[in-house]
Chains A and B, each alone.
Chain A
Amino acid sequence: MSENISRRGLLKVLGVGAGAVAAGPLLAACAPSTSAPKPADSEAALKDDGVKEFAITSWAYNEANTKQPLQDEIDKYTAAHSGVKISTPSFPYNDYLNQLLLQVRGGTVVGAMQLDVAWLATLAATGKLVDLSSVAKGVDYTDAALALGKSNNVQYALPWTQAGIGILANQEIMTKAGITKAPATIDEFEQAMTAIKGQGVTPYAAMTKPDQLKDIIPWMWTFGAKLVEDGKITIGDEASVAAVTWYKKIYDLKYSAPDVNRVDARALFSQGKCCFYEDAISGKSTVIKSSPDKDLASKVTTIARPVAKSGDKPQHLAWGQVVAVFDGKGVAAAADFAKTITSETSYTTPWFTKAGLPPTTKSGLAAPDITGDKYSSDFAKNIAAYSTADPFWVYPQFSQMEVALAQAVQGILIGKTSVQDGLNAAKAQMTSLMS
């Protein structure tokens, strides 16, 4: 009575399977469209409905160094606001955006939420975020920080922390290599790398794996590339080709190493195996924790990204976190919580001292705890002050666009394609993702 699968039967099954795979792209239609629906008037949308229960969705509540500080903020807020109850759903950072989008589709997400600034446009495109311009009015957020909470010129989020991705340096290695002042131009940077190479360490743990190769963007800016002009991708122009040619040159000279992403770079830096690498402001605490060198903290310094010619403005990619509010029950209470934790010094200062994340208001930045911290002050002065948002973040498909660019640059680094051809291919791919 045994019965095996016939060849014809198997072909039928494979046909159905192939159909299922072919249907995959159709599901991409579930992704948010590129244009966000116009939100309702901010004050009307934030009318108090009397509901005092809401959620603060975050990844901060997952992580060891931010969970307790966030819980402290919630406890403090609920103690000061009778009747308020705050729940704390959380997801791992790496799955956060997908989980949020799914919850938005399911209509199950309400309240406030922590967002990476890179994700704001994608969430705004769902049409579920509330315009918080009336909440932000009168608060002394810095202009740069406030801009990070905007998408299509609508204030969809309030800035919680803002810095940039900047170059961290090991002062001890620099000194041993005879470098007495931070390299300010690309020529000086190359000379410094040559000297450091002689010390037997990797001079610059630049990103060479595709997952973090978006770090090429500020180097392209440094060489004068705009990347996007009048809504069109300009990658492949003279300046971007010059930037990638230089990036490949230092790779070929072994000033940078193959197969390095942020995690690898932190490992190299913490072990004293590289002198320069790029990270956000929190990178310092990560490398110190995993380093056998107990004095590493005193050796970590920041340098402004070297410029093409003296007098140019250093270029850095912005990095930050914002708090957005979803339309629904308890929207006014959630918006008030978002405003409080992002703007009141009694909340932002402990957030900095416990989690190491700097505030976004002028008064918050002027607090003695922040100004007295040399590393943070230097980071603010050298990096945050010159950081600019990734021009692709305004597109909901920014992630795929960055991947297209990163893969092209990696192909160039390993000699799979020429600089011009690689960037032209990236441009074509990225342009198709814009529409």
Chain B
Amino acid sequence: MTLQETRFAADAGAPVRPVPPRTNKPRRRFPAGAAVTVAVLGIFVFAPVYWVLVTALTPTNAVYEFPPRFWPRHVTLQHFTALVHTPVLLHYLINSLVVSIATAVLTVLVSAYTGYSFAKFRYRGRRSLMYLILASQMFPQAVLLITLYLVFSQVGLLNSYLALILSFTTFTLPLCVWMMKGFFDTIPDELIEAAKVDGAGQFAIIHRILLPVSLPGLVATGLFAFIRGWNDFIFALTLGGPDHLTLPPGLANHYIGEFETGWPELMAASLVVSLPVVIGFAVLQRYLVAGLTSGAVKG
């Protein structure tokens, strides 16, 4: 196989939606069991989102109505309009985006090279190293918080973006390395051999051949790391300091108090700041699905 053929093969590996052949067969009906399953799963997934929306639209003095109402009696947008007067939320949102995107990029970079090494090379200590990386995932993350806090304090990294990015990357890497290894395992060695025959070096093989083919895996890995950075509470609260608070601790700081919690305001803020991420995921979801399932079937 030449490099040209290799590229063709690589293109063939990209997630192209197959066009179903036209047939005269009647369309299969959606089985009732599947419909029920989807409905139950839909309720399971969307009921909390619905409740968040209802709470955000309910006037403050009706939020604690007992028993709670599934359909709000009165609807208000006051909690959404109040967000305009809460500029600190934009600050939290920017911090979250900076930290999550940087975590995703760093994780993808490191896990791609490490995963490639584990998948395509044989060397002494490789298996032990692989298991060691996997074992690090077994540690309760809260236990590592104290250690990380002390280390970052000693080296002057506390209260910085870097502290958050490094700590999040530390926790995402083990799984992401294994995800990328699984992805590279599915790429046939013949592709690499063909590239070598055409005179490509290791740098060209990984950057010009493998990484373009692995785009779904890279996106899936990046999204996983992004979610980790986006959702974290305790590390962001502890290591970031007041100027680098991300959304989870920022919202808790702003709306949850000793005596009262501004539930409707908190729900409205949560919905609004989630929108950019939801849109981003909607755009990238086909890569996420392809990337997560690519290593699932041994070919």
Spell out A's residues near B (CB within 8 Å).
1-5, 9, 12-14, 16-18, 20-21, 23-24, 27, 30, 59, 62-65, 89-95, 99, 102, 105-108, 263, 266-268, 270-271, 273, 280, 282-283, 285-286, 289-292
Contacts and interface: CB of A to CB of B under 8 A. Distances in A.
Interface in B48-70: 60-66
B258 A21 contact: no
Nearest to A268: B66
Contact of B138 (A3, A13, A62, A266): A13
Which of B63, B181, B257 is the most central at the interface, judged by chain A CB atoms within 10 Å of its CB? B257
Contact of B62 (A21, A95, A105, A292): A292
Interface in B67-123: 119-120
Nearest to A102: B149
10 closest A-B pairs by beta carbon, nearest first, are: A17-B138, A2-B185, A16-B135, A267-B64, A63-B257, A93-B258, A106-B153, A20-B139, A286-B260, A292-B61
B11 interface: no
A273 B64 CA distance: 11
Given A1-B185, A267-B66, A24 B143 contact: yes
Given A91-B253, A271-B65, 8 more contacts: A1-B185, A13-B138, A20-B140, A24-B143, A59-B258, A95-B237, A271-B66, A291-B61
B185 A21 contact: no
A107 B153 contact: yes
Nearest to B298: A2
Interface residues of B, number: 45
Nearest to B152: A106
A106 B158 contact: yes
A89 B240 CA distance: 12
B272 interface: no
B63 A290 contact: yes
A83 to B, nearest CB: 23
Interface string B186-200: 100100000000000
A91 B236 CA distance: 12
Interface string B232-251: 00100110011000000100
15 contacts: A2-B182, A2-B186, A20-B138, A21-B140, A62-B253, A63-B257, A64-B262, A92-B257, A93-B257, A99-B237, A105-B146, A263-B261, A266-B64, A286-B260, A292-B61
Contacts of A292: 61-62, 65
Nearest to A283: B259
B58 to A, nearest CB: 11
B131 A1 contact: no
B1 interface: no
Nearest to A285: B259
Contacts of B262: 64
B143 A20 contact: yes
Nearest to B249: A92
B61 A290 contact: yes
B242 A1 contact: no
A389 B239 CA distance: 34
A266 to B, nearest CB: 8
Contacts of A30: 146
A289 B260 contact: yes
B256 A94 contact: yes
B129 interface: no
B9 interface: no
B159 to A, nearest CB: 9
A300 to B, nearest CB: 14
A12 B254 CA distance: 44
B145 interface: yes
A77 to B, nearest CB: 20
A124 to B, nearest CB: 20
A94 B145 CA distance: 17
B150 interface: yes
A18 B140 CA distance: 10
Contacts of B145: 102
Nearest to B150: A106
A268 B252 CA distance: 24
A17 B174 CA distance: 13
B64 A27 contact: no
A267 B150 CA distance: 41
Contacts of B143: 20, 23-24, 27
Contacts of B138: 13-14, 16-18, 20-21
B41 interface: no
Contacts of B150: 105-106
